[in-house]
Amino acid sequence: MEPSPNEHKVLLAHRVLQPGFGTEAAVYGTILVSGLIAVSSAHGETSVVVLVTVAVTVLVFWAAHVYAGAVSRMGAGVDNKGIGVRTAIRQSVRHSFGMLTSAAIPAIILLLGTTRVISDDIANDVALWSGTIILAFLGYVAFLRRGSSIPVRILGSLATASFGIVFVILKAFVH
């Protein structure tokens, strides 16, 4: 089935964002960021504290992901000869870039709270919900690219977004 003009726009947006956003690292990073926001903000922390927590934790997880990817790539070259350290690191950085980019939208929202454009509570809540929306978008596009029907795309979108919704519910219970 040929995608509609609106679906072409979604695919184009995804294609533009894909190098850092449309990957499993982006999904994992978005889930990580959502969890960090939920736990950090559940105790009434300011958006500054939540932003610092997210930034530091995402950078540490990203560095660990790059390191693990580089180590695994060095031994997985052609004919088991391995690849060089620089090539392994470069490939790993490219593959895991989505983990960093997944934090961008929630971080911008948290920054609005730190600069008092919006209140801390609103910044924390909107940043948390933004992760759910990002996950829904990633899920929808994944099923769109597979050529799935609209109901399957919506179900895939909801299934992917459910990871973010779990953190929204967690924050509600803890808060």
Q: Which of 125, 109, 98 is nearest to 38 (CA)?
A: 125
CB of 23 closer than 8 Å to CB of 98:
yes
Q: What are the backbone angles phi and psi of residue 82, rounded to the nearest 5°?
A: 80, 170
Structure confidence by residue, pLDDT tens digits, 101-128: 889 999 999 999 999 999 999 999 999 9
| Cα–Cα dist 10/140, whole Å | 9
Convert 140-169 to b/e letters by CB count within 10 Å (16 or more is b). bbbbbeeebeeeebeebbeebbebbbebbe
Mean pLDDT across the stretch 43-63? 95
pLDDT band, residue 75 (cuts 50/70/90): confident
The 10 Å Cβ neighbour count of residue 77 is: 13
Domain boundaries, the chain: 5-174
Q: Look at residue 80 in the predicted model and tell me its pLDDT.
A: 60
Predicted confidence (pLDDT) at residue 73 exceeds the cutoff of 90: no
Rounded alpha-carbon distances, angstroms, from residue 172 to 20, 29, 107, 161 = 31, 22, 21, 17
DSSP 50-95: HHHHHHHHHHHHHHHHHHHHHHHHHT-SGGG----HHHHHHHHHHH
Q: Look at residue 134 in the predicted model and tell me its pLDDT.
A: 94
pLDDT band, residue 30 (cuts 50/70/90): very high
Higher pLDDT, 142 or 131: 131
CB of 156 closer than 8 Å to CB of 142:
yes
| Cα–Cα dist 77/95, whole Å | 16
| Cα–Cα dist 50/43, whole Å | 10
